[in-house]
Chains A and B, each alone.
Chain A
């Protein structure tokens, strides 16, 4: 569609290791529209972080294409044009290591400005102070080092760094997972504010489904390198179809009785998550699936649009007749 900012088609990223080929991302397709927040949820080994790193260019894709604002960028970051590096930014998940402990905040924030030649040296300090103000940090923080700040403040600096080049899309990889609830609330509200002000698009990755409910407009769930369900947020949470989605939703510890009511009935998860080196044949989830049936352990299901905008990868859910391979609107 015309206002798809980021389009990912049949993306694959495999790592060859001594233990075998790790199929971290194994045929993933989706699109993020301008101004929306697309959520990517999954547990460890799902490949959601690898998707993020491949889109941002830290890995070159093994197969598939990534298109941003109409331009192809299916390469590693070193080969991408500078303008693209300006428009696409990422906030990493661990605020402890995403800022160089041996540099000052001023140095960290002025790096993107320097690299992209934004402003003269004098103007840069002013810009950095302005960035700090946007994330509600005082100007004195210019001279501090990251280890003097708390986790929440470090993450705010990381967000300020991502905003420095005035990007169009920001990938947020578990931005608040390491933070406390009250700081998380502050940061999420700040991010929503920025999104409205600057018409940003977010690719929001987290394992916290309660958080996802409140930030994303559409949610995709990943397992062992593939997207297993993709739907608008309310659909996803209130009418999940994929057994894995239902299992995940039923496992979340919640506080309020109305939250408990909305959860699918408790599906007890047995066993461990298989390693991406040994993806089970057929449907990758069949080893833990309560609704496993004929063919689940031999035929791989495809991602199928079962309702408008609601895609599911499951033999038991999809109508076999209208099998239509889809991944984007």
Chain B
């Protein structure tokens, strides 16, 4: 499997609001091996973006607060780092692509300005202007943008959605990060452009052996993009496996429900979906947070939270259906 670039262990995050405390993350566990593509699948409100913000140290605090857990980037705990050290990691070690390319690019600066700013900022030593510009144009070419010189002096508003997202990818890769986090980068794009973008990302990542965390709510995209898949529900990682294993044999009832609710290109109507709603984070269910909606819930499911454990090689699940241990944590 190789060494891990990122390990998230038992992350707990709370948010203080008028009505009380929102227990948003309730023990997130994730492991990103070096050079791997990891998909993080979950629906709106499950906490995927919050988790990523913790990794980069950009969680809004207050009202957010990390109450427990560690995030190890190459064996160093990100949560205990000073701002200065975090700055060094951001960009150079870990970079991020956001969901909405319109919002991610500053409309009053040219693409070139923004790209060179990123390169300059993350550079280990001072580089002269020509070198920075050369690198920027190369980055624009790497993401297969036509006419990189002209693109360099364009403003984001002159570009289409697909082109803007390519610029964001160029910015994320220009600093040659070890880990790239892509938060729903293709959700806002058209299907045909999305297909191009995914192909491009795959090529780039392969060339540079960068690790990627790909966040999405689409299982179809995850199938094309990931080697490993983690499924998240209501602040917990409920299942994690190698992609082929997960799609061949989903174990957690939520994962099964999710796959069932997908409309199939072959037709046949849409399955019922999953009954109930996502839990109220003010008063979340005890034990497994999915238990109120789970068709196969048992009594012990509302007791202690099930541990995220390996039930077969390369397949972890947090569910009492798969092995009940007395020493559950």
Looking at A64-72, A163-171, A209-217, A299-307, the stretch in contact with chain B turns out to be A209-217
Looking at B102-110, B202-210, B213-221, the stretch in contact with chain A turns out to be B213-221
A44 touches B161 (CB 8 A): yes
3 pairs of A and B residues whose beta carbons are closest in the complex: A185-B273, A253-B220, A180-B43
B223 touches A254 (CB 8 A): yes
A151 touches B264 (CB 8 A): no
**B192 sits at the interface (CB 8 A):** yes
**B81 sits at the interface (CB 8 A):** no
Chain B, range 220-247, C-beta contacts under 8 Å to A: 220-221, 223-224, 247
**A43 sits at the interface (CB 8 A):** yes
Q: How far is the CA of A104 from the CA of B226 in the complex (A)?
A: 43
**A3 sits at the interface (CB 8 A):** no
User: Which residues of B come within 8 Å of A, CB atoms?
Assistant: 43-45, 160-163, 190-196, 198-199, 217-221, 223-224, 247, 257-259, 261-274, 277-278
29 contacts between A and B (CB under 8 A): A44-B190, A150-B277, A150-B278, A179-B44, A181-B219, A181-B258, A182-B261, A184-B261, A184-B270, A184-B273, A185-B271, A211-B263, A213-B263, A213-B264, A213-B266, A213-B267, A214-B270, A234-B267, A248-B191, A251-B195, A253-B221, A253-B223, A255-B223, A255-B262, A258-B264, A262-B266, A269-B192, A269-B193, A272-B193
Q: Which single residue of chain A is at the shortest CB-CB distance from B46?
A: A180
In the bound complex, residues from chain A placing their C-beta under 8 Å from that of B45 are: 150
Residues A269 and B195 in contact in the complex (CB < 8 Å), given A185-B272, A254-B223, A255-B262: yes
Residues A182 and B257 in contact in the complex (CB < 8 Å), given A211-B263, A213-B266, A234-B267: yes
In the bound complex, residues from chain A placing their C-beta under 8 Å from that of B160 are: 272-273
**A259 sits at the interface (CB 8 A):** yes
What per-residue 1/0 map shows which CB atoms of A211-252 lie under 8 Å from chain B?
101100000000000000000011001000000000110011
**A208 sits at the interface (CB 8 A):** yes
**A76 sits at the interface (CB 8 A):** no
In the bound complex, residues from chain B placing their C-beta under 8 Å from that of A189 are: 270, 272-273
Contact of A251 among B43, B191, B267, B272 (CB under 8 A): B191
**A277 sits at the interface (CB 8 A):** no
**A183 sits at the interface (CB 8 A):** yes
User: Which residues of A come within 8 Å of B, CB atoms?
Assistant: 43-44, 150-151, 179-186, 188-189, 207-211, 213-214, 233-234, 237, 247-248, 251-256, 258-259, 262-263, 268-270, 272-273
In the bound complex, residues from chain B placing their C-beta under 8 Å from that of A268 are: 199
Most buried by A among B191, B257, B259, B269: B191
B267 touches A252 (CB 8 A): no
Residues A251 and B265 in contact in the complex (CB < 8 Å), given A185-B272, A272-B162: no
B262 touches A210 (CB 8 A): yes
Residues A259 and B266 in contact in the complex (CB < 8 Å), given A43-B192, A186-B273, A272-B160: yes
Q: Which single residue of chain A is at the shortest CB-CB distance from B261?
A: A185
Q: From residue B218, how far is it (CB to closest CB) to chain A in Å?
A: 7
Judged by DSSP, the binding face of A is helix
**Interface contacts beyond A186-B273, A210-B262: sample of 11 additional A-B pairs, CB < 8 Å, sorted by A:** A150-B45, A184-B263, A185-B272, A210-B265, A213-B263, A251-B191, A253-B218, A254-B220, A269-B192, A272-B163, A273-B190
B265 touches A183 (CB 8 A): no
Q: How far is the CA of A167 from the CA of B261 in the complex (A)?
A: 29
Q: Which single residue of chain B is at the shortest CB-CB distance from A209?
A: B265
Q: How far is the CA of A263 from the CA of B193 in the complex (A)?
A: 17
Q: How far is the CA of A185 from the CA of B273 in the complex (A)?
A: 5
Q: How far is the CA of A186 from the CA of B293 in the complex (A)?
A: 14
Most buried by A among B161, B193, B195: B195
A183 touches B195 (CB 8 A): no
In the bound complex, residues from chain B placing their C-beta under 8 Å from that of A181 are: 43, 217, 219, 258, 261-262, 273
A188 touches B190 (CB 8 A): no
A208 touches B263 (CB 8 A): yes
Q: How far is the CA of A255 from the CA of B259 in the complex (A)?
A: 8
Q: From residue A45, how far is it (CB to closest CB) to chain B in Å?
A: 9
Q: From residue B270, how far is it (CB to closest CB) to chain A in Å?
A: 5
Q: How far is the CA of A179 from the CA of B273 in the complex (A)?
A: 13
Most buried by B among A44, A252, A255: A255
A255 touches B220 (CB 8 A): yes
Q: Which single residue of chain B is at the shortest CB-CB distance from A247?
A: B192
Q: From residue A86, how far is it (CB to closest CB) to chain B in Å?
A: 30
Q: From residue B249, how far is it (CB to closest CB) to chain A in Å?
A: 13
In the bound complex, residues from chain B placing their C-beta under 8 Å from that of A237 are: 265, 267
In the bound complex, residues from chain A placing their C-beta under 8 Å from that of B162 are: 272
Q: From residue B153, how far is it (CB to closest CB) to chain A in Å?
A: 19
In the bound complex, residues from chain B placing their C-beta under 8 Å from that of A207 are: 190-191
A263 touches B265 (CB 8 A): yes
Contact of A185 among B196, B219, B221, B270 (CB under 8 A): B270
Q: Which single residue of chain B is at the shortest CB-CB distance from A256?
A: B264
Q: Which single residue of chain A is at the shortest CB-CB distance from B221?
A: A253
Contact of B191 among A43, A179, A256 (CB under 8 A): A43
Residues A43 and B190 in contact in the complex (CB < 8 Å), given A181-B217, A183-B273: yes
A255 touches B219 (CB 8 A): yes
Q: Which single residue of chain A is at the shortest CB-CB distance from B163?
A: A272
A258 touches B266 (CB 8 A): yes
Q: From residue B227, how far is it (CB to closest CB) to chain A in Å?
A: 16
Most buried by A among B162, B258, B270: B270
